[in-house]
Amino acid sequence: MCAMAAATRPDAETLAEVGEFGLIERLRPIFDGGPDVLIGPGDDAAVLRIRTGHVVVSTDLMVAGRHFRSEWVSASDVGHRAAAENLSDINAMGGRATALTIGLAAPGDLPVSWALEFAQGFAEECAKVGATVVGGDLSGSETLTVAVTVLGACTVAPVVRSGAEPGDVVALCGRQGWSAAGLAVLGRGFRSPRALVEAYQRPEPPYDAGPIAADAGATAMIDVSDGLVADAGHLAAASDVAIELRTEALPVAEQLSAVASALGIDPMRFVLGGGEDHPLLATFAEAAAVPEGWRVIGSVTEGSGVTVDGSPYDGPSGWSHF
Amino acid sequence: MCAMAAATRPDAETLAEVGEFGLIERLRPIFDGGPDVLIGPGDDAAVLRIRTGHVVVSTDLMVAGRHFRSEWVSASDVGHRAAAENLSDINAMGGRATALTIGLAAPGDLPVSWALEFAQGFAEECAKVGATVVGGDLSGSETLTVAVTVLGACTVAPVVRSGAEPGDVVALCGRQGWSAAGLAVLGRGFRSPRALVEAYQRPEPPYDAGPIAADAGATAMIDVSDGLVADAGHLAAASDVAIELRTEALPVAEQLSAVASALGIDPMRFVLGGGEDHPLLATFAEAAAVPEGWRVIGSVTEGSGVTVDGSPYDGPSGWSHF
């Protein structure tokens, strides 16, 4: 019996009982079409109108026990998280998401209610940016796995990771370290501070920030999903530059400090090492170009790698994927 | 240790050893861009030029032990199968695939060589239609899972499942039952007839047939992945019609007959019940409209459901997904 099933009543209706097509029938009302959905779910493929001459596309996997632990997140949370992670990838290109597909591989004893609550959470997160689910696939699997692909569009040129140049400033938009602190709290058996736990359960990427940064001329951009230093390193490597971060410029929320203090660690470990909050990290040619709501946290120089206050970062690094 | 690792030498380099980014570096040369790939793999998202005003999109999951058994298919075969299954969905809309994303969730002890051979097979299958891989994601998982999303385009209106009308003829293009017979052979410990085993390992969907049928005015179309009767049933349900199939019109290859005879079963069970060959099943307003290479195998009438030679089909039905 899977962990999710164990949390519900033993007579809960399962995926194996209703089958793929029974589940699809129940999912359909949750995923209703949008204005540009010419053919929605239910055929061999969906068809979308594309008005922009291009699509921005990204895909992400979430695996139970690796990307989330079902005792710490509800089915709805998993839906929010899976959608947010993908929507954020379009945000990081300076675009807006329009359509998504979902692949759900799940044990046959997963309650139907879990799948429906997951779908509801997913749809709610997509609604924040006006995106809709246009297709999907269901499969049995020993391992609960969510595979999402997101399509979107930009109104100006997409912002890639590789455009940063020495002399640029580095700026951050969105909260950072909250999810990691929430996870640390949960890992020790606590459920508060509530704001941090909720940040882990349902990240809140700044969905407007990507298009605004693109409009403002961001030279490079990435979403912080692995960790601030790790993703700054990805941007630096793609741009063939070095990035210097200054901790004095990094905000540390009061609740982060409180948790770090209780755990006897430096709160900056959450901020520098934590992932999954999905703020945006971008570079701009000058500080005057940085949009409102962004905070300048460092600068781009010649060289390679990331330094924090002038030194290599020796804290926990980014997420290990295997 | 996963089954694939067990099949290779114990010192084979594993995904856990090279890590996500190490593997991505080795995958990149296999997936080189195409003319409409504006931004390829390696950023937060890929960007594709869309010249047609629309995209056709579909997604499919393949789970080891459910959709394939690794003792019967090589890593390259799994790549071919995963690509073919998705490319076929675009074919079934009358379109051509242009771009794909791959999510690969795999145990950390999976040999790197498995992932590279999988990717090579996947790329080879995509090359048959000129499509390219533009992005992906990698994750650890206890269960080897391949999640693919495919994008494509149609030159005429997409052909949906719901357009069949009473009086239409039903036609099939592509071999049918071969994969199921190949699986039956493998399941009994044999490796021949080679053509059937290979049909299971690497299906050969008729990729030109979909666009040709759309041009010819097909009224409805579906790819046969679950089973001929099962998928005819999906088309009938979507169109709110009945479909009558005639077995005398269904080709039975000599090798199919030989295997069925050896197993003491009716070869028509493979043809009617088997899936995964990915031929196309379509309806046309009249027999004169049916393109070359297609075979008329039945007709559309008022009512619901599928009959075979005038009777309900009582053989094994389609694939069970949970």
Q: Is residue A38 part of a domain?
A: yes
The answer to whether A283 and A242 have CB atoms below 8 angstroms apart is: no
Q: Which of A96, A120, A153 is the last residue of a domain?
A: A153
- pLDDT at B313 (0 to 100): 86
- pLDDT at A5 (0 to 100): 42
Q: Is residue A118 part of a domain?
A: yes
Q: Chain B within 8 Å of A155 (Cβ-Cβ)?
A: no
Q: Are residues A145 and A168 in the same domain?
A: no
Q: Chain B within 8 Å of A167 (Cβ-Cβ)?
A: no
Q: Which of A129, A153, A177 is the last residue of a domain?
A: A153
- Residue B73, exposed/middle/buried by CB under 10 A (0-12, 13-18, 19+)? buried
Q: Are residues B100 and B167 in the same domain?
A: no
Q: At residue A248, does pLDDT exceed 70?
A: yes
- pLDDT at B42 (0 to 100): 87
**A142: chain B residues, CB-CB within 8 Å:** 65, 142-143
- pLDDT at B12 (0 to 100): 84
Contact B59 A147 (CB under 8 A): yes
Residue of B nearest to A137 (CA): B60
Q: Is residue B66 part of a domain?
A: yes
For chain B, the helix, strand and coil percentages under 3-state DSSP, each to the nearest 5: 35, 25, 40
Q: How far apart are the first and last CA of chain A?
A: 25
Instruction: Give the model confidence (pLDDT) of B270-280 as tens digits.
Output: 999 999 999 99
From B82's Cα to the closest Cα of chain A, the distance in A is: 13
| Residues A262, A267, A271, A275, Cα dihedral to 10° | -30
Per-residue CA distances from A236 to A160, A175, A185, A239, B294 (Å): 12, 21, 31, 5, 55
Instruction: Give the model confidence (pLDDT) of B248-267 as tens digits.
Output: 999 899 999 999 999 999 99
- pLDDT at B20 (0 to 100): 86
- pLDDT at A292 (0 to 100): 97
Q: Are residues A169 and A266 in the same domain?
A: yes
**CATH number of the domain that residue A147 is part of:** 3.30.1330.10
Confidence of residue A100 (pLDDT cuts 50, 70, 90): very high
Q: Which two tokens stand for residue A248?
A: 């004095």
Q: Are residues B29 and B149 in the same domain?
A: yes
Contact B57 A162 (CB under 8 A): no
Q: Are residues A136 and A243 in the same domain?
A: no
Question: How many other CB atoms are found less than 10 A from the CB of residue B47?
Answer: 26
Q: Are residues B166 and B272 in the same domain?
A: yes
Q: Are residues A191 and A97 in the same domain?
A: no
| Averaged pLDDT, A300-320 | 85
Return the closest-CA partner of residue A143 out of A66, A199, A64. A64
- pLDDT at B320 (0 to 100): 58
Q: Are residues A215 and A307 in the same domain?
A: yes
From A18's Cα to the closest Cα of chain B, the distance in A is: 9
Rounded CA separation B171/B100 (Å): 29
Q: Tell me the residues of chain A between 39 and 58 that have a Cβ less than 8 Å away from chain B.
A: 39, 42-58
Rounded CA separation B317/A45 (Å): 23
Q: What's phi and psi for B239, nearest 5 deg?
A: -90, -10
Q: Is residue B4 part of a domain?
A: no
Q: Is residue A3 part of a domain?
A: no
The answer to whether A170 and A283 have CB atoms below 8 angstroms apart is: yes
Q: Which of B106, B131, B153 is the last residue of a domain?
A: B153
Q: Are residues A50 and A138 in the same domain?
A: yes
Number of structural domains (chain A) is 2
Rounded CA separation A197/A216 (Å): 33
- pLDDT at A6 (0 to 100): 42
Q: Are residues B103 and B58 in the same domain?
A: yes
Instruction: Give the model confidence (pLDDT) of A119-137 as tens digits.
Output: 999 999 999 999 999 999 9
Rounded mean pLDDT of chain A?
Answer: 93
| Averaged pLDDT, A230-254 | 96
Which of B21, B24, B57, B104 to mutate against chain A (most A CBs within 10 Å)?
Answer: B57
Option in A43, A141, A321 nearest B160 (CB): A43
**A105: chain B residues, CB-CB within 8 Å:** 61, 63, 143, 145, 147
Q: Are residues B39 and B128 in the same domain?
A: yes
Determine the structural domain holding residue A89 and report its residue range: 11-153
**B44: chain A residues, CB-CB within 8 Å:** 58, 88-90, 92-93, 161, 221-223
Q: Are residues B206 and B301 in the same domain?
A: yes
Which of B27, B44, B49, B91 to mutate against chain A (most A CBs within 10 Å)?
Answer: B44
Q: What's phi and psi for A194, nearest 5 deg?
A: -55, -40
Instruction: Give the model confidence (pLDDT) of A250-279 as tens digits.
Output: 989 999 999 999 999 999 999 999 999 999
Q: Is residue B16 part of a domain?
A: yes
Q: Which amino acid is at B209?
A: A
**CATH number of the domain that residue A178 is part of:** 3.90.650.10
Q: Is residue B320 part of a domain?
A: no
Q: Which residue has the tokens 């995209």?
A: B55
Rounded CA separation A84/A91 (Å): 10
Q: Is residue B298 part of a domain?
A: yes
Q: At residue A155, does pLDDT exceed 90?
A: yes
Residues of chain B below pLDDT 50 = 1-7
